[in-house]
Amino acid sequence: MNPTSTQSHSVASALKRLVTATACSMLALSVIALAGLPTRPVLADETCQSPYMPMITGQEEFVYVWTLGVAGMGDGSDKLVTIDVRPGSATFGKVINSASVDGKHEAHHAGFTSDRRYLWAGGLDTSQIFVFEVHSDPSKPKLVKTITSFVKDSGGAVGPHTFYALPGRMMITALSNSKDHGGRTALVEYSDEGKHLATHWIPTEADPNGVKIEKVADGYGYDLRALPRRNVMLSSSFTGWSNYMMDFGKMLQDKEAMQRFGQTVVQWNLHTRKPKKVLHVPGSPLEIRFAWGPNNNYAFTSTALTSKLWLIHEGDKGEWQAKAVADIGDPSQVPLPVDISIASDDRSMWVNTFMDGKTRLFDISDPHAPKQVYEKVIGKQINMVSQSWDGKRVYFTTSLLANWDKKGADNEQFLRSYGWDGKDLKEVFSIDFNSEKLGRSHIMLFGSSRLYGG
């Protein structure tokens, strides 16, 4: 190989690593274009995935739904359900595969590895982790590994929640601990092969680990997202096993239980995994979503109990801070915000509220002053929202937790797909998970054979 071709190969390799590390960054795509390397149009994928993962080009082909089993319904087990969303397919909008795990584990969240070849999914009750292989045939994920040692591996963390891809490893947020089943918990790190690497306990006032505490350090955990170019990782806070496995109505009447909710967002050094600052965000901040723009150093979260949007942002002096920037619906009615999805252009964000079954669209072009511009009732209850990178397709599911979902006729369980034309959501298809005997539909992830050369 001559020096010129060697140099070209080195440049291409370096740029490929850059794209992998910032797969959803428009800045990285601009760099490739300037280098004269071929690019494919970025038209799809979800907007909430790890920037370390390869990105789907073209429209998503499959939607994977991690689903809670219901006794007496089908096989009664938690399962990964695959829906065909390929335009023109004979099975478009239909279930084409279902891969069950053994038993009910309180299926909740899931995430791809950094190479996107495997999908990790967790059970909040049993703390088991299920690894599905998706690259051989993306239409038929296969369960290839079950990790039953999470509590022992981690030194007592319980309830694996968020699965967030880092290069060659998986960062997992837990929700509880084996000592008292309260909210004190940790971030737990595994290799992509399933080997436990480290446990990072979230700081408390009794064990601050040298961090700056804004008001309180509760040690609670929930979601996690990273902004690699600022070396920042943020984790949010929810509640422990003793609450999330309790009947929702009973918990609302339990004054002591209602005091056991998180009120913090922790700023971490992404590279060292060391906590730096504990921000006060009262009301149980849930999903964290970073903006995508190359100069937009901020993220949003929503608080379940106080129904507010919070902006977590880097100030002029590099200090990260948090402030409430908008109400979501009428906070006095406790609509219970549960999931948010920020658009790829950072100009809008979908916000779901469980109790009234609504999704709301906020104009966030000024992140310090979001304004609601649209709302629609999706069902009797809704939870998760996933939108495509181009913003034209939006998907919704329903289940929050097995013991928190509504009862009777209000216990709708579905996946619904909508088209967004900039003015209105128009339903494309709906799958009733109750009538299909699939269970309770929770988190969604997109899949495509094009990721693996298909």
Instruction: Return d(Cα 82, Cα 410) in angstroms, integer.
Output: 25
Query: Could you tell me what percent of the chain has a pLDDT over 90?
Result: 86
Instruction: Return d(Cα 353, Cα 35) in angstroms, integer.
Output: 44
Q: Which H/E stretch holds residue 19?
A: helix 3-21
Residues 56-83, mean pLDDT to the nearest whole number = 96
pTM over 0.85: yes
pLDDT at residue 333 tops 50: yes
Domains of the chain: 9-39 (no CATH), 40-333+432-452 (2.120.10.30)
pLDDT at 319: 95
Residues 6-22, mean pLDDT to the nearest whole number = 37
Instruction: Return d(Cα 401, Cα 247) in angstroms, integer.
Output: 9
Please name every residue paired with 190 in a beta bridge, in sequence order, or none if there are none.
Answer: 170, 196
- 154-205 per-position pLDDT tens digit: 999 999 999 999 999 999 999 999 999 999 999 999 999 999 999 999 999 9
Band (pLDDT 50/70/90 cuts) for residue 47 is confident
Inter-residue contact 442 to 65 (CB < 8 Å): yes
Inter-residue contact 87 to 80 (CB < 8 Å): no
Q: Sort 249 into a burial class: Cβ within 10 Å, 0-12 / 13-18 / 19+.
A: exposed
- 206-231 per-position pLDDT tens digit: 999 789 999 999 999 999 999 999 99
Residues 426-437, mean pLDDT to the nearest whole number = 98
pLDDT at residue 76 tops 50: yes
Band (pLDDT 50/70/90 cuts) for residue 44 is low
Q: Which residue has the higher pLDDT, 168 or 9?
A: 168
Inter-residue contact 302 to 308 (CB < 8 Å): yes
Residues 252-256, mean pLDDT to the nearest whole number = 96
Hey, what are 376's tokens? 């629609």
Inter-residue contact 139 to 103 (CB < 8 Å): no
Residues 27-40, mean pLDDT to the nearest whole number = 37
Name the strands in the sheet holding 224-227, side by side, starting at the edge strand that comes first in the sequence: 212-213, 275-280, 264-269, 232-235, 224-227
Instruction: Return d(Cα 322, Cα 109) in angstroms, integer.
Output: 25
Hey, what are 311's tokens? 């902006």
pLDDT at 282: 98
Please name every residue paired with 425 in a beta bridge, in sequence order, or none if there are none.
Answer: 420
Summary mean pLDDT of the chain: 91
Range 378-381, long-range pairs (CB < 8 A, 24+ positions): 378/352, 378/416, 379/412, 379/414, 379/416, 380/406, 380/409, 380/410, 380/411, 380/412, 381/354, 381/355, 381/357, 381/405, 381/406, 381/410, 381/411, 381/412
